Structure 1
C-alpha cells in the first residue's frame, strides 16, 4: 500500500475516487486502488459519465440491447446502475468492515431537476429502488429546491450525497435538512441509520477569482472557505441537536471535500490533499490527483475547529469586493449549469449511438 495514501487514511480521512469507467471496472483497476492506495469509495457525476461513454465503446453492447427509439435518459441510468453495482461490490467489504460508515458509491439525479424539489424526490426514490444497492448514495444538489428534497429523502430512508455545496452557509442548510429528516424519523419511531455526506467543492473558488487578485492570493480562497466549513462541521458535531439524534442511533453526516484536483499548473498537484486533512472527513479525488497523492502527498497539520485564520484570509478577498456568500451562489449556479451541459451531451451521445445501432 502507498505510504502516502496510507498516512492519510491513518489520520482518519477516507480517500475516494472521483471517477468511474467500465474499462476501469473490467481491468480490476478499482480493486487495485482499494488494496494498494487505500481508496474506500467512489463518486460520479454527469461529466464523468459523459466522458466515459463518449470516449469508449465499452457501453455499445448495452446501448444496442436497448434498441432504436429507447429513451436516452433511461438508457443512461441503466448503464450507470450497471457500472455502480460493480463498483459497489468492490467496496462491499469496506462497507461491511466499517459497519456502513464507508465503502459508498454515488449516482446523481438528473441535473435538470436542480430547481425542482418534487421531481428530485420522485426520481431519487425511483433510482434508489431500481438500483437496489445497499451502499449507494443518491446525489442531490444543495440548491434551495435540493435542500427540500434532502429532508424528505432522509425522512424516507434514502442515503443522500449532497453535492454542489460551496460555502459555510450552503453547507449548514444541507446539514440542517439532513437533521430535520432524521428528527421526523425519530418522532415517528423509525430507525435513524440513514447515512449521508455533504460534498463541498474547493478548487472552483480559486479558478473563479484567479484573474481578480494578485499572485500572492492565488489558490488561497478555496482553502480558506474550507476552513470555515470545517469549523461549522465541528460545531455541529459538538452540538446538542446532533448528539440527541446520535443517542437514538443516528450517525453524523460526514463532510466530503470535492473538486480537489489542482487547476493551476503553477501550484502543487496535491494542494487540496495536503491541506484538507481531518478525521471523519472524505477527500474524493480525480484519478490524476489520487495517483499524485499516492506518489508524493505531504499531509499538513490537521484542520482546526477555530477558523479565525480562514476568516482573516476571506476578509482579504472581501476587501477586493469578493464576498464568499455572493460568490457561492454564482458558483452553485455555474456548477449546476455545467452539469446540465454534460447531461445534454450525454443524452446526445447515447441518442447517436442508438441511431448508429439502428
Structure 2
C-alpha cells in the first residue's frame, strides 16, 4: 500500500499541483492517477513553466498566431486544451466518486482578482470553452472573488476558491457556498487554504524557540478544519471540501512530507507538486491523528494574537499571492509573444 493509499483511507484526496502537455501525452498523468492521484490543480505559474520550458506547444502557438489571436487568446487556447485533456483522463475518477472527486482546476486571469463582474464573465467563458463537468474554475479569495464564487455556484459552475490564508476569509468562503445551495444544490467546490507560506511569513518575525515556529500554518489550518466540521452536516452530501494548498515545505530543516503527515484529515484534499508526490511515495509516512492536533492546537490560535499581528500577515500574503500570479500570467503572455516572433521568422 502506498502512502497515497494510506491518506485515501483516511478520507483525504491527493491532487497533483502541476500540468503540462508533455505530462498528458507521455502518459505520466495517467500513471499518477493509477497510483492514487484523484485531481489536478493549475495556476499561472504552472503554465508559465510548462509553456516557457518546452517546445511542445510551438506548433499550436504558430497555428493560432496565424489566425490573428493575441497572446492572451493563444494562452487560453493552450491552457484550456490541457485542462480539457486532463479532465477527460480524470473522468473515470469523477464518475466513481459520484462527482465528489476527479476535478481539474483552471484559474481566471489574476488581474481580475478585485473585479466582481469581470471575474464572473471570465469564469463563464472558460467554463464554456473547456466544456467538462469535472472542471473547477479557480477564483482568488478576495472580497469580490468570494462574491463572484457565490454567483457562479448558483449558476451551476464549479469553483475552487484559491489564495485563502486567513480563517475569516475561509469562513466567508464556506458561508458563500452554503448560501449558494439555496439556488443550486449540485455545484461542486473546494476552498484552497494555503499552508507553508504562513510559516514562511511568521517564522521570519519570531525566534526559532517560539512555540509558533514551524507550527502556525498547521494551527491556522486546524482552526479552519474545526469550523468545517461544525458546518459539514448543514451542507448535506454535497459539501465544500477544504483543500490544503502550498504544502511543499519552504524551510530547509523540515522533511518534504511535514505538512502532509500533519494534515491527513477526512474530507479534505491535499494538492502537491510532483517532487513532493515522489517523496511521499518513497517516504515512511507517520500520520498525526486529529485528536493529537486537537489537544496541541485548539487554544493556540487565540494565543497567537499575543505574539504577532496575524491578520496583517494574512492580508499581505493574499496581496503577494495575487501579485505573484499576475507576474506569472504576464510572463507567460510575454513568452508566447516572443515565441510567435521567433516561429514566424523560421
State the TM-score, normalized to the length of structure 1: 0.91
Asked if structure 1 preserves the Cα contact closer than 8 Å seen for 2:223 and 2:301, the reply is no
Q: Partner residue of 2:220? A: 225
State the Cα deviation string for residues 256-300 of structure 1 (Å, max 9, x = none).
Answer: 100010111111110110000011110000111111111115242
Give the match's secondary structure for 2:106. strand
- Name 1:269's counterpart in structure 2: 256
Most deviating of 16-25 and 68-77: 68-77
Q: Deviations over 1:296-355 (max 9, x none)?
A: 1524233359857425434554333x2332221111111011101111101101111111
Name the counterpart of 2:179. Answer: 180
Moved over 6 A (4+): none
Q: How does 1:163-242 map to 2 (within 5 A)?
A: 163-185=162-184, 192-216=185-209, 217-239=212-234, 242=235
Counterpart of 2:42 in structure 1 is 44
| 2:301 is the alignment partner of 1:340 | no
Contact 1:5 1:297 (8 Å CA) reproduced: no
Q: Secondary structure at the match of 1:40?
A: coil
Counterpart CA distance in 1 for 2:284 and 2:158 is 31
Identify unmatched segments of 5+ residues in structure 1.
186-191
Superposition CA RMSD, Å = 1.7
Q: Does the 8 A contact of 2:47 with 2:332 survive in 1?
A: yes
Structure 2 SS opposite 1:330 = helix
Structure 2 residue matching 1:194: 3-state secondary structure: coil
2:269 is the counterpart of 1:294 = no
CA distance in 1, matches of 2:6, 2:50: 31
User: What SS does the aligned partner of 2:183 have?
Assistant: helix
Change over 3 Å in CA distance of 1:348–1:125 after alignment to 2:
same
Counterpart of 1:24 in structure 2 is: 23
Match of 2:290?
Answer: 303
CA contact (8 A) 1:41 1:102 kept: yes
Shift of 1:148: 0.9
Contact 1:314 1:324 (C-alpha < 8 Å) held by counterparts: no
Whole-Å Cα distance in 1 between the matches of residues 318 and 180 of structure 2? Answer: 23
Q: Which residue of 1 aligns with 2:130?
A: 131
Which of the residues 53, 56, 79 maps onto 2:54?
A: 56
What's the CA shift for 1:87? Answer: 1.0
| Aligned-partner Cα distance in 2 for 1:235–1:304 | 16
TM-score, structure 2 normalization: 0.94
What CA distance in whole angstroms lies between the structure 1 residues aligned with 2:122 and 2:283?
41
* Number of equivalent positions: 341
